[in-house]
Structure 1
Amino acid sequence: MDTGTHLVMGIALGGLAMADPAVANDATTMTAVIAGTIIGSQIPDVDTVLKLRDNAVYIRHHRGATHSIPAVLVWPLLLSGALWFIFPEVNLLHLWLWTFLAVVLHVFVDIFNSYGTQALRPFSNKWVALGVINTFDPIIFGAHVIALMIWAFGADPVWTISILYIVLVFYYISRFALQSAIKHAIRNTLPGATEIFVAPTMRFFHWRIAADTDKHHYVGRAYGRTINFYDKFPKKPMPDNELIQTALKDKNLSAFVSFSPLYRWEINQYGEILEVRLIDLRYRSNDYYPFVAVAHLDEDYNILNSYTGWIFSEDKLRKKLDFSHN
């Protein structure tokens, strides 16, 4: 989820903590616990700073180690220990418990996005991505804001947040039901589909869709159970030659391949420059595929430059790759 949604979730969990007598009956513990749930709801995303280094490192590692099983155990210990240093009279056990729940909630809700997390590390490096909730979901965010406002106007926080969570459980169930219906509709439209990707948008009934058959890639949109495919690409095996092997060793293309399960490839030539381009088919936007990985090589297959990330025009991509050597 986005930072704002994690924030309101942390505040809401602090309200639910009032159900714990050790929290509700002690002002110091209450203050520390609310701080713990707010910070705990954010701390797994500390790896966002990796983006300052480069996109390849960010793509490969964001929501990786910081969302893993060891991290879920370590973050609450570090955070509750720090808060105990500030509030030495706090009930440390209950502070740790609610901080732990905040961290778990953060990682748990992230697996419902199409981006997902490596929440099963160290047992598996597989990305767990259920793809039923958009990174920013206005209904989830709005429901939290409304609940927090009701609490601010004097309502009982435990009952208010409990009702909020019950409503959201049914909302999540409805998202799974709609996703399942869309996948069923895609299978009816493409009986030979071998792989199906269905990703949410900020609109409840609008979904991005991509599917593979033995011979083609299909990309489109779904509105409810109505399926519209906009693009169809021939499915070609990637050549196993020196050009491709060299390009795939580049950190940007390697990071892209480790993250993207559904992409197509292109080989282009600009004068003496050979270009290997990988195009993620999951995120079509305004007739463009913005999530790409590109490597430029000379005729001796030396990598001149490369890039991976979100680019929404060819001009910006050319600037990123710096065509000054042409």
Structure 2
Amino acid sequence: MDTGTHIVMGIALGGLAMADPAVAGSAITTTAVIAGTIIGSQAPDIDTVLKLRDNAVYIRHHRGVTHSIPAVLLWPILISGALWLIFPEANLLHLWLWTFLAVFLHVFVDIFNSYGTQALRPISNKWVALGVINTFDPIIFGAHLLALMCWAFGAHPVWTMAILYSVLFFYYVARFAVQHAVKKAVQHTIPGTTHIIVAPTMRFFQWRIAADTATHHYVGRAYGRSINIYDKFMKKPLPDSNLFQAAMKDKNLAAFVSFSPLYRWEITKYDAIYEVRLIDLRYRSNDYYPFVAVAHLDEKCKILNSYTGWIFSEDKLRKKLDFSHN
């Protein structure tokens, strides 16, 4: 989820913590626990700083180690320990328990996005992504804001947050039901599908679609059970050439492949320079595919420059690569 949603989730969890007599019975413990749930709901995303280094490192490691099983166990110890030094009269055990729940909830809800997490590390490095909730979901965020406003105006925090979580439980169930119906509709529209990705948008009944058959890639959108296919690409096997193999060893293209489950490739020659481009098919926007990996190589298969990330125009891509096709 986005940062704003994680913040309101942390505050709401702090309200639910009032159900714990050890928390509700001590003003100091209450303050410490609310601080713990807010910080704990943000801590796993500390790896966002990797973006300052470069996109390849960020793509490979964001929601990786910091969302793993050891991290989920370690974050609450570090956070509750630090808060206990500030609030030594707080109940340390209950501070740790609610902080742990905040960290766990952060990683758990991230699993429902299309991006997903490596939540099973070190058991498995597989990305767990259920793809039923958009990174920013206005209904989830709005429901939290409404609950927090009710609390601020005097509503009982425990009952308010209990109602909030009950409503959101049924909302998640509804999202799974709609996603399942969309997948069935895609199978009916595109016979012979071998791989279907149905990704959420901010609108409840609108979903992004990317699908494979034995011979083609399909990209489209679903509006309820109505499937609109926008693009159809012939599937091509990856080239077994020195040029392509050299490009795939580049850190930017390697990071892209580790993250993208469905992409197509292009090789274009500009004078003495070859461009190898990988295009993620999941994120079509306004007739453009913004998530790409690009490498430029010379005739000796030497990497001249490369880039991976979100680019919404060719001009910006050329600036990133410091290379002009003209």
Contact preservation (8 Å) 2:270, 2:325: no
Query: How much has 1:244 moved relative to structure 2?
Result: 1.1
TM (norm. structure 1) is: 0.99
Residues 219-270 of structure 1, C-alpha deviations (whole Å, 9 max, x = no match): 0000000000000000010111111111011000000000000000000011
**Partner residue in 2 for 1:99:** 99
TM (norm. structure 2) is: 0.99
**Partner residue in 2 for 1:274:** 274
Q: Which amino acid aligns with 1:28?
A: I
1:109-120 correspondence runs (5 A): 109-120=109-120
**Partner residue in 1 for 2:158:** 158
Contact preservation (8 Å) 2:318, 2:324: no
1:228-239 correspondence runs (5 A): 228-239=228-239
Residues 272-293 of structure 1, C-alpha deviations (whole Å, 9 max, x = no match): 1001000000000000000000
Distance in 2 (alpha carbons) for counterparts of 1:193 and 1:324: 39
Pair 1:294-2:294 in alignment? yes
Residues 165-198 of structure 1, C-alpha deviations (whole Å, 9 max, x = no match): 0000000000000000000000111120000000
Pair 1:46-2:51 in alignment? no
Structure 1 SS opposite 2:278: strand
**Partner residue in 2 for 1:148:** 148
**Partner residue in 2 for 1:63:** 63
Query: How much has 1:94 moved relative to structure 2?
Result: 0.1
Q: Which amino acid aligns with 1:208?
A: R
Distance in 1 (alpha carbons) for counterparts of 2:262 and 2:183: 16
Distance in 2 (alpha carbons) for counterparts of 1:138 and 1:200: 12
**Partner residue in 2 for 1:260:** 260
**Partner residue in 2 for 1:74:** 74
**Partner residue in 2 for 1:201:** 201
Distance in 1 (alpha carbons) for counterparts of 2:23 and 2:318: 56
Q: Which amino acid aligns with 1:235?
A: K
1:219-258 correspondence runs (5 A): 219-258=219-258
Structure 2 SS opposite 1:131: coil
Distance in 2 (alpha carbons) for counterparts of 1:117 and 1:226: 30
Distance in 1 (alpha carbons) for counterparts of 2:294 and 2:259: 15
Distance in 1 (alpha carbons) for counterparts of 2:202 and 2:270: 39
Q: Which amino acid aligns with 1:77?
A: I
Residues 98-136 of structure 1, C-alpha deviations (whole Å, 9 max, x = no match): 000000000000000000000000000000000000000
Q: Which amino acid aligns with 1:134?
A: N
Residues 13-72 of structure 1, C-alpha deviations (whole Å, 9 max, x = no match): 000000000000001100000000000000000000000000000000000000000000
Pair 1:126-2:126 in alignment? yes
Q: Which amino acid aligns with 1:183?
A: K
C-alpha change, 1:325 and 1:226, in structure 2 (3 Å) is closer
Q: Which amino acid aligns with 2:109?
A: V
**Partner residue in 2 for 1:217:** 217
Structure 2 SS opposite 1:323: coil
**Partner residue in 2 for 1:30:** 30
Pair 1:3-2:3 in alignment? yes
Distance in 2 (alpha carbons) for counterparts of 1:232 and 1:141: 35
Distance in 1 (alpha carbons) for counterparts of 2:206 and 2:229: 13
C-alpha change, 1:211 and 1:147, in structure 2 (3 Å) is same
**Partner residue in 2 for 1:312:** 312
Q: Which amino acid aligns with 1:52?
A: L
Aligned residues: 326
Distance in 2 (alpha carbons) for counterparts of 1:213 and 1:43: 40
List structure 1 segments (4+ residues) > 4 angstroms apart after TM superposition. none
Q: Which amino acid aligns with 1:269?
A: K
Distance in 2 (alpha carbons) for counterparts of 1:324 and 1:176: 45
Q: Which amino acid aligns with 2:235?
A: K
Distance in 2 (alpha carbons) for counterparts of 1:314 and 1:96: 49
Runs of 5+ in structure 1 lacking a partner? none
